[in-house]
Amino acid sequence: MDFALSKEQEMLRTAVREFSQKEIAPKAPEIDRLAAFPKENVEKMSKMGLFGMTVPPPLGGSGAGLVSHLMAVEEIAAACASTAMILVPQVAVERGLLMFGIDAQKAKYLPSLARGEMTSSLAHTEAVAGSDFAALQCRAKQEGEKYILNGSKIFVCNAGEADINLVLARTTETPGVSGLSLLIVEKGTPGLEVGKKEDKFGVRGVPSRELIFEDCAIPRENLLGREGMGFVQMLAQGVPAVLTAGAISVGIARAAMEAAVKYAKERKAFDQTLGDLEAVQFMISDMVTSIDAARLLLYRAANSVDKGQPSPTENFIAKVFSGEMALQVTNNAMQIFGAYGYSKEYPLERYYRDARAFTVYPIPSEVYKAVLGRMLLGLPLPWKGMPPAGPPK
Closest CA relative to residue 91, chosen from 120, 48, 112 = 120
Q: Are residues 226 and 305 in the same domain?
A: no
The C-alpha atoms of residue 109 and residue 101 are separated, in whole angstroms, by 10
* φ/ψ bin of 373: left (φ > 0), alpha (ψ from -120 to 50), beta (otherwise): alpha
The pLDDT, as a whole number, for residue 18 is 98
List, run by run, the mean pLDDT of 10-residue segments along the chain (393 residues): 83 97 98 97 96 96 97 98 97 97 97 96 93 93 97 96 97 90 97 95 97 98 95 93 98 98 92 93 98 98 95 95 98 96 95 97 92 90 63 38
Position 318: which residue type?
A
The pLDDT, as a whole number, for residue 271 is 86
Q: Are residues 297 and 208 in the same domain?
A: no
The pLDDT, as a whole number, for residue 174 is 87
| Residues 182-193: tens digit of each pLDDT | 999 999 999 999
Q: Are residues 312 and 179 in the same domain?
A: no
The pLDDT, as a whole number, for residue 387 is 47
Q: Are residues 292 and 347 in the same domain?
A: yes
Domain range holding 28?
Answer: 7-119
| Residues 203-226: tens digit of each pLDDT | 999 999 999 999 999 999 999 999
The C-alpha atoms of residue 287 and residue 293 are separated, in whole angstroms, by 10
The C-alpha atoms of residue 360 and residue 130 are separated, in whole angstroms, by 11
The C-alpha atoms of residue 256 and residue 254 are separated, in whole angstroms, by 5
Q: Are residues 57 and 176 in the same domain?
A: no
The C-alpha atoms of residue 291 and residue 355 are separated, in whole angstroms, by 13
Measured between alpha carbons, how far is residue 137 from residues 46, 124, 172, 273 in Å? 36, 11, 11, 58
**CATH number of the domain to which 15 belongs:** 1.10.540.10
- Within a domain: 2: no
Question: Do 218 and 149 touch, CB atoms closer than 8 A?
Answer: yes
CA atoms within 13 A on the CB side of 134: 10
Task: Look up the pTM and report it.
Answer: 0.95
Q: Are residues 77 and 146 in the same domain?
A: no
The pLDDT, as a whole number, for residue 175 is 85
- Within a domain: 387: no
